[in-house]
Amino acid sequence: MANYNPEEIEPKWQNYWRENKFYHAKDPAEAGEAEKFFALVEFPYPSGEGLHVGHCRSYSAMDAIVRKRRMEGWNVLYPIGWDAFGLPAENFAIKTGIHPSVSTQKNIDNFKRQLKRLGLSFDWEREINTTDPKYYKWTQWIFLQLFKKDMAYQSKVPVNWCPKCLIGLANEEVIGGKCERCGEQVVRKELKQWMFRITRYADRLIEDLEKLDYLEKIKIQQKEWIGRSEGTEAVFKIDGTEESLKIFTTRIDTIFGVTALVLAPEHNLVSILENNISNLEEVKKYIEKVREKTEFERVNLEKERTGIKLEGVWAVNPISGDKIEIWLGDYVIGSYGGGAVMMVPAHDRRDYDFAQKYGLAIKEVVKGGEISKEAFTDYGVLTNSEGFSGMASKEAIEKLQELLKEKEMGGISIQYKLRDWIFSRQHYWGEPIPIIHCEKCGVVPVPEEQLPVELPFVEKYQPTKTGESPLAAIDEWVNVKCPKCGGPAKRETDTMPNWAGSNWYYMRYCDPQNDQTLGSLEKLKYWLPVDWYNGGMEHTTLHLLYSRFIYKFLFDIGVAPSLEPYQKRTSQGMVLSYDGQKMSKSRGNVINPDDIIKEYGADTLRVYELFMGPFDQAISWNIQGVKGVRRFLDKVYNLVLERLPNEESGKQAQRLIHQLNRRVSQNIETMKFNTAISGFMEFINFAADNKEEIGREVLERMILLLSPFAPHLAEELWQKTGSRESVFQQKWPIFDPALAQEQKINLIIQVNGKMRDKIEADPEISEEEAKAAALASPKVQNWLNNKEPKKIIFVKGRLINIVI
RNA sequence: GCGGGCGUGGCGAAAUUGGCAAACGCGCAGGACUUAGGAUCCUGUGGGUCUCCCUUGCGGGUUCAACUCCCGCCGCCCGCACCA
């Protein structure tokens, strides 16, 4: 028996496919009638560790989908590239002195070799690299457009500062108070940063989700992250001054229960009212103490809320006119809802605790709870609320909003958890921000014709201790003439974060060589939006949300051709190591795809990763499972070689192959790869027991069906059928319902809903016949025990149930 | 605390969406070939008091029929988390 030898056949067919350009995506001019299909997978960060088996899972899955789609006649774009700016390359440079571009290129070469060895059907003609100046020219161009539309601005903000990486982090990059990359405790530091006004797009980012085919949990997570909240704004005048204070609440119906206002410690009212606050010294000390704590520490000291009363100042309740105290409290978040809340101890848990700790009054204004014991936070009927007493909460909210509006003291207000996006990094290995600071003209954008602003070559990559980027140390790069006035000016030395290049990379695939625009409108219009985007859940609130925002902005300025970038989004489950842990160098449990390919072949690796479990679920690596898949492929190979000369196929084999055809076609589209593959195994098991049934026609169909999963093996076997064409030049087989139809079924006979017997029957068997057959069964007779059936349920083609 | 998901053999899981629970794979046991087996092939494999009964985290309900739908618990995983 001949031997299936992937090490020999896989490279052979990879070369053949490359030479024949089977994966070439046709631009609109050459596409003809074919419908386009843009399939996207997240482009990898080319780390020194090489390709992760998790990459393989996502890429193999999408590869199966696009291979099928091509065979169905779609014009498929399945591209790949490199998200190559980032901290590890820079850290590596600091350690070794090797320039990031050098190590990055080396890593890319390695990744590329690995991806090609997997036989993935990427169109390599469209490969992109975010660190290529020809690419990041357009990343910078997008920044300039944002700047011109006042969507990018500078602001001194407290940033999450990682003392180890010496870098400012976005909120999203801080996990549990620690730096996402190095795990160091993050501290607060005030830095002037570039910001994007993503908050202006908050509503659209929520609303437009409706039109998209994303997994529901992705939509929910994005909505939650944006955190839209409808409530009321109310203005409290500061007694005896011209000053006032805006607060945000979702429970304006409790306004008669307000016993104080509480401000975030960083609220600017303190400095405004300095002269009125009699305990200023103490207050300042308190603010200082809180400032030292990071937001994370503040959050985690939940049980120990602290605060201080501002002595000598009073606020006036805009509805009741009552004079109330003003406090600072560390439980109030400075960046949300104006950093001020009205404290209603009776109807808010936090306020209740705070009031108890500091002896503030607790006044019940909504009936229904026992406020001597705990806060009552439900809606209810108002009490102790002057004219509003007896009114339901919801109604009171509406009335009070109207009243505040009339008095010009507030009204309906909408708040978001989403903050503007900090877009500066104090690092070398990123896209330079194309801005020049002129002493006379201020902030001046680099003229578009001067793009790209190339990263200069440096000797030292160390971040400076001051928080400036290493670029700040290169005088000849920093010092430039102002493009406006020609006077002395300095370049912006901050670079862009990791997300900058990945925000829009999929657009570049549509027209990767264009040096006039980011992409020609014709090509963008043709390919976009992406039809199907698969990637990791961990990117839901980072990359996925931000790239939607950037795309919407580009749509607004006429560059992007649609409202949304990705029509469909799915996610693969994580591939864990054999110990159920995340793979990591330090744990020493990393599975290297090279090793698997070497020992078992790329097809085995691909099929295993799709067979190992439901695609969207995290799953542990199991080398025994890999071996099982290899055994299966061996069986396929040997069966085809043995039975191919046989012209005739049996009826049952035909039926099974058409059933398999139906199942595989469906399962690929719904990403139920594991059951598709088990279907092949069932068929192979049948074939092994019924060899005489298996002939050429059935085998050819099986090879076609298998080709998206095990492309090399399928090609090898297809060529053995005598075909002079590639398996991927064939049409995707359509199953014949008539042939797939079972000729005989097992009719289940139940008595009282329990299976007692089964008989072979025609699928079209009538109720009468089924009943007769059922009652004729000795087993049924035994169970009937001479009793009369009360009722008979007949499900055509399936079962008959006799109820007694 | 809030939001989402999940719970089926020794393990990964499947179940045509309410109709034979455990397909397929792994593991395990026995056998064949073999100097050898950690290669390959064959047979068996949910449990029991085994013609029958029990079994999909636990308890209840709807139904002729429930892994699937409803109610109440328990447990696990993921995301967010003092968002007023």
The predicted-structure confidence for A691-716, as pLDDT tens digits, reads as follows: 999 999 999 999 999 999 999 999 99
Distance A673 CA to B14 C1' (A): 12
A634 CB-to-strand B distance under 7 Å: yes
Q: Residue A295 — very low, low, confident or very high, per pLDDT cuts 50/70/90?
A: low
- Burial category of A640 from C-beta neighbours within 10 Å (exposed 0-12, middle 13-18, buried 19 and up): buried
Q: Is the pLDDT of residue A299 over 60?
A: no
Q: Residue A478 — very low, low, confident or very high, per pLDDT cuts 50/70/90?
A: very high
Neighbours of A90 (CB within 10 A): 22
- Single-letter residue type at A225: W
Burial A295-329 (b: 16+ CB within 10 A, else e): bbebeeeeeebbbbbbeebbbbbbbeeeebbbbbb
Distance A754 CA to B44 C1' (A): 27
Q: What percent of chain A has pLDDT over 90?
A: 75
Mean pLDDT of A618-641: 94
Mean pLDDT of all residues in chain A?
92
pLDDT single digits (tens) A757-774: 888 888 888 888 888 888
Mean pLDDT of A522-534: 97
Distance A701 CA to B34 C1' (A): 38
- Compute the distance between CA of residue A644 and CA of residue A793 in angstroms, rounded to an integer: 47
pLDDT single digits (tens) A374-391: 899 989 999 999 999 999
Q: Which nucleotides of B are covered by protein (CB under 7 A)?
A: 3-5, 12-16, 19-21, 23-27, 39-42, 52-53, 64-66, 78-84
Mean pLDDT of A251-262: 96
Q: What is the pTM of this model?
A: 0.93
Task: Point out the nucleotide closest to A419 (alpha carbon to C1′).
Answer: B83
A:22-61 Cβ neighbours of strand B under 7 Å? none
The answer to whether A128 and A509 have CB atoms below 8 angstroms apart is yes
Q: Give the lowest-confidence range in A281-285, A293-297, A749-753, A776-780.
A: A293-297
A652 CB-to-strand B distance under 7 Å: no
Tell me which residue of A152, A175, A178 sits closest to A163, measured CA to CA.
A178
Q: Is the pLDDT of residue A1 over 50?
A: no
A:195-234 Cβ neighbours of strand B under 7 Å? 216-217, 220-221, 224-225, 227, 229, 231
Distance A92 CA to B47 C1' (A): 58
Query: What pLDDT, on a 0 to 100 scale, did the predictor assign at position A301?
Result: 47
Q: Residue A473 — very low, low, confident or very high, per pLDDT cuts 50/70/90?
A: confident
Mean pLDDT of A728-753: 90
DSSP string for A307-338: EEEEEEEEEE-TTT--EEEEEEETTS-TTSGG
Cα of A39 vs its chain's centroid, Å: 16
Determine the longest span between alpha carbons in chain A, in angstroms.
109
pLDDT single digits (tens) A360-378: 999 999 998 888 888 999 8
Q: What is the 3-state secondary structure (H, E, C) of A202-253?
A: HHHHHHHHHHCEECHHHHHHHHHHHCCEEEEEEEEEECCCCCEEEEEECCHH
Q: Taking CA A497 as the corner, what is the angle to CA A492 and CA A501, rounded to the nearest 5 degrees? A: 105
Task: Point out the nucleotide closest to A344 (alpha carbon to C1′).
Answer: B84
pLDDT single digits (tens) A8-35: 999 999 999 999 999 999 999 998 899 9
CB within 8 A of A44, min separation 6: which ones? Answer: A51, A55, A82, A83, A111
The answer to whether A32 and A665 have CB atoms below 8 angstroms apart is no
A:415-434 Cβ neighbours of strand B under 7 Å? 415, 417
Mean pLDDT of A608-612: 96
Q: Is the pLDDT of residue A296 over 80?
A: no
- Compute the distance between CA of residue A85 and CA of residue A429 in angstroms, rounded to an integer: 6
**Stronger pLDDT, A327 or A288, i.e. the higher one:** A327
A622 CB-to-strand B distance under 7 Å: yes
